[in-house]
Structure 1
Amino acid sequence: MLRVKTSVELKNKLSNTLRNWLPILQSSLSDLGEAMAPFVESNPLIDIKSGYEESFESRIPKKIQYGYVQNSHSEAIEALTVQHKSLFDILEEQIDGSLFPTPVSQLIAKHVIENLDEGGYYEGDCDVFCRNEGITLEQFEKIRLRFIHVEPVGIGAKSVSESFLFQLESADIDDTAYSLAREMITHMDELGRYRKEEGFDEAMRVIGSFKNPPAIDFLEDSQQVIPDLMIYNDPDEGIEVRLNDRYYPSVSIDAEYRVDHPFVREKFKEAKSLVDALEMRKATLYKVGLMIVEYQYDFFIGGAIKPLTLKTLADEFGHNPSTISRAIANKYIACDRGIYPMKDFFTTAIDEDVSNAAIKDYVAELVRNESHKKPLSDMKLLEMIQDKFKITMVRRTIAKYRKQLNIAGSSERKQLYLLGRT
């Protein structure tokens, strides 16, 4: 059993220490030194040695850098310890799925990706592309608009307003504010006239959270991905979880301060707390790693990721799911299948007990068993889901899940059934 039980003492220590040093838990490994800087600057007893003083490449064995690795899972994972992922890389990973299942849709998706400006907007000449490839503009636009389901959301749009409409589809917003937000986005220069409309404040809150440009987080050529954990899968030894602690900054406390003074005592106490915070960060992420491996064991031996909610982990730690969400944000796991954000091993929660993966599975099951003469509408699917899971949702969410599952609308499915194509 990989999972270890957390003692009451460790839970209390985690709570007390990380409450005071939460930025250290939340920051990515590459940003850890920056998160610690304010605490260090105000404490003359602390000396920090960066975990990045050597070049990243110098830490990777030469035979790995130059591709001379043979049959070594451990060395392959070490080679992944530092990885640069560009926006192009991240988009390429998403166009092989159900959103772009045909050669034509793949061709169009690749064209869109290759013709994004640095902000993530499409700036290609679709007329020339369609003429050269024998594709109609209607076909092109139908495929391009599927980027509404691609992350980062808003990518592939032709304008700010279209990018905002893309982002609106993924926003947490009620139906009244959603309808108003759509209209406001199409009249961005006249927002003042909507001020008295019901849902205005909610619509403004959501619109204000959108990213412009949509690729703002990728304006640099690449982003450094430094995994906190490395998962080794040895055929003989089994699966092992290791902390990537070689990149942690080291903290030393100046023991020469022997003066018995309230200021020195306070700073010494803060310095010890900082060391504790680093150790608690390691302990927390290590245990998260153990639990991910236990719950997602099939993935690490070549299978698929299973539905797993943050609540499951939160219950193990005795914390709120939002605390665990912050703990895994911007954290990565390296294994022999690549480098993955920790959040990828969890399904997004609809509420505390129901994951969106469970909803999608149920939608697929309902459609699989529906009447061919009277396919289920999105409204009917919504009613059945709300009845089964005892939750409140909106029809747009069902439509989004259906499209992500590559399931046609009810009228289109009825035509397919009549044609004998299921």
Structure 2
Amino acid sequence: MGALRQTQSVESKHKLSNTLRNWLPILHSSLSDLPEAMAPFVEANPVVELKNGYEEDFEKKIPKKIISGAVSNSRTEQIEALTIQSRSLFEILDEQLGAPLFPTPISQKIALFVVENLDENGYYEGDTETFCQTHAIESDTFEKVRQRFAHVEPIGIGAKDLAESFLFQLDNAEISDSAYALALKVINNMQEIHSYSSEERFAEVIHVISTFKNPPNIEYQEDSAQIVPDLMIYFNDDNEIEVKLNDAYYPTINIDANYGVEHDFVKEKIKEAKSLVDALDMRKATLYKVGLMIVEYQYDFFCGGQIMPLTLKTLADEFGHNPSTISRAIANKYIACDRGVLAMKEFFTTAIDDDVSNAAIKEYLISLVKEESHAKPLSDMKLLEKIEAKFKVKMVRRTIAKYRKQLNIAGSSERKKLYQLGG
């Protein structure tokens, strides 16, 4: 009996190693590149036939909950943007840089400058002060013109940060007057979103915010036509969150049973084909489990909140793999949800060094802002100094500014104005 168990163990281990050998390249490839990754295995095996999942329409495979409902138009546009992008974002904006929003030469000049200084997400990051000095324009005039981007399509473009983008979109959303007032508070204080959960209109506010584009140019981002999400995460009709594999978009492996299985060569090829099927199933199971973990740790995000700290090591420990393996596994993988199509890597924090994660730095940054003087808020340079002193790391100011924007924290001058308005 002992010898028999040993033989079974060796056979099982051999089968698993074959599957793993196939699994790694299949796991690491994006869904759109999966047929290409599988091609070497298929070409060397006469009993295998591969049917490409791209032969069917992508939109039909997205759960109706994601592309239907009160915001069906914007969500349908997002799906269409994944399949074909006929006009660039600049072309869309260029058509709007005239009357009625920008009827004068000065307003058109300002509007063009805003468009020319959009970052990769559609946020304005131009040097307003230099532009105004060069063209003898008052900063107040510039800002009034820029605020008209609240009425430019796609809504949210030209905002300075995520909070302002949401405010632009809020002014164009269908929302009750009482919920609108609460939405203003929530958007301006996103890091404390759950402090408003007891408010009467909180559910309506979260529903409306969850429909906003994030980032504002998500429909026009470069290479969006090639993005095919591995997972769909959405709330079903019972208001329960669901994780669904985009398995209908996977290639299908057919094993030809007409070959004579009495030949050793055919037996071996059928065995290899079954290992390939197992590897594809392992990819699905692995990414589905990743999706479940993301929902577990990032549930607040799917309800309209912010992405919480989650390290690759946490995921690696759960799977029993090295973090580098997990990093490659989630590379070029995407999730479709009510808040857009997002890269899986966006749900994870990375390390500044071996002992410090950017999540820890962000948490400390939040605590510094909470405790700062309302009369003299901390500048990014002051925040940088305190963070470097606490964590004994070297960083640059623009990294602090980037983290601040990710956390929806306004700049020091903006925070001072908000403190004054709040009494």
- The interval holding the TM-score normalised by the smaller chain is 0.5 to 0.7
Aligned partner (choices 96, 116, 126) of residue 112 of structure 1: 116
Deviation at 1:80, TM superposition (A): 5.9
Give CA deviations for 1:236-274 in whole Å, capped at 9, x if unaligned.
251111111110111011122225444333322221111
How many residue pairs match? The answer is 307
Quick one: structure 1 residues 16 and 284, their matched pair in 2 at CA, closer, same or farther if it must change by over 3 Å?
farther
Query: In structure 1, what residue type is equivalent to 2:82?
Result: H
Q: Is the 8 A contact 1:243 1:282 kept in 2?
A: yes
Distance in 2 between residues matched to 1:72 and 1:408, nearest whole Å? 32
SS of corresponding position for 1:84: helix
| Distance in 1 between residues matched to 2:254 and 2:271, nearest whole Å | 13
- Deviations 1:341-369 (CA, angstroms, capped at 9, x unpaired): 21121122224664313202313433554
CA contact (8 A) 1:227 1:332 kept: yes
Q: Distance in 2 between matches of 1:227 and 1:247?
A: 9
CA RMSD of aligned residues (A): 5.3
Whether contact under 8 Å (2:59, 2:79) holds in the other structure is: no
Residue 364 (structure 2) aligns with: 362
| 1:112 positional shift | 1.2
TM-superposed deviation, 1:401: 5.1
Tell me whether 28-37 or 234-243 shows the greater mean CA deviation: 234-243
Measured after TM superposition, the shift of residue 280 of structure 1 is: 0.5
Cα displacement string for residues 138-179 of structure 1 (whole angstroms, at most 9, x for unaligned residues): x9xxxxxxx9x99xxxxxxxxxxxxxxxxxxxxxxxxxxxxx
Q: Is the 8 A contact 2:61 2:248 kept in 1?
A: no
Q: Structure 2 counterpart of 1:298, which letter?
A: D
C-alpha distance in structure 1 between counterparts of 2:13 and 2:335, whole Å = 24
How far off its partner does 1:337 sit?
A: 2.6
The one-letter code of the counterpart of 1:112 is E
- Helix, strand or coil: the match of 2:53? coil
| C-alpha deviation, 1:16, in angstroms | 6.5
Once the 2 structures are TM-superposed, how far is the Cα of residue 233 of structure 1 from its aligned partner?
1.0
CA–CA distance in structure 1, aligned partners of residues 236 and 373 of structure 2 = 48
State the SS of the aligned residue for 1:230: strand
Partner of 1:312: 314
Give 1:13 shift: 8.8
Partner residue in 1 for 2:198: none
**1:33 aligned counterpart, secondary structure:** helix
| Corresponding residue for residue 285 of structure 1 | 287
Q: 1:219 to 1:77 in 2, by over 3 A?
A: closer
Distance 1:11 1:291 in 2: 28
Return the letter of the residue paired with 1:295: Y
1:333 aligned counterpart, secondary structure: strand
Amino acid at match of 2:53: G
**In structure 1, how many angstroms separate the alpha carbons of the residues matched to 2:372 and 2:382?**
11
Question: What pairs with 1:94-105 in structure 2 (closer than 5 Å)?
Answer: none
The match for 2:302 among 282, 300, 303 is 300
CA contact (8 A) 1:77 1:230 kept: no
TM-score, normalized by length of structure 1? 0.55
Structure 2 CA distance for partners of 1:251 and 1:366, relative to 1, 3 Å: same
- Change in 2 beyond 3 A, CA 1:29/1:14: farther
Task: Give the partner amino acid of 2:47.
Answer: L
On the 8 A contact 2:349/2:357 being kept in 1, the answer is: yes
AA aligned to 2:276 is L
Which residue of structure 2 lines up, in the alignment, with residue 49 of structure 1? 51
Could you say if the C-alpha distance between residues 278 and 350 of structure 1 is closer, same or farther in structure 2, counting changes exceeding 3 Å? same
Are the aligned partners of 2:31 and 2:230 in contact in 1 as well (CA < 8 Å)?
A: yes
Amino acid in structure 1 at the alignment position of 2:328: R
Cα separation, partners in 2 of 1:363 and 1:233, compared to 1, 3 Å: same
Alpha-carbon distance in structure 2 between the residues aligned to 1:372 and 1:80: 41
Deviation for aligned residue 1:378: 8.0
Mapped to 1, the partners of 2:269 and 2:222 lie a distance apart of 40
1:297-335 deviations in whole A, cap 9, x for unaligned?
112222222111111111111111121111111111122
Quickly say closer, same or farther: Cα 1:81–1:135, change in 2 above 3 A.
Answer: closer
Give 3-state SS (helix, strand or coil) of 2:335's partner: strand
Moved more, 295-304 or 19-28: 19-28
Report whether the alignment pairs 1:269 with 2:265.
no
| Corresponding residue of 2:255 | 253
Return the TM-score normalized by structure 2.
0.55
Distance 2:387 2:409 in 1: 18
Task: State the secondary structure of the residue aligned to 1:30.
Answer: coil
Q: Counterparts of 1:260 and 1:358 in 2: how far apart (Å)?
A: 61
> In the TM superposition, what are the counterparts of 1:100-249 in structure 2 within 5 Å?
107=111, 110-112=114-116, 131=135, 222-234=224-236, 236=238, 238-249=240-251
Corresponding residue for 1:84? 82
Pick closer, same or farther for the CA change 1:130–1:15 going to 2, 3 Å.
farther
CA distance in 2 between counterparts of 1:349 and 1:401 reads 16
CA distance in structure 1 between the aligned counterparts of 2:375 and 2:59, rounded to whole angstroms: 62
Identity %: 56
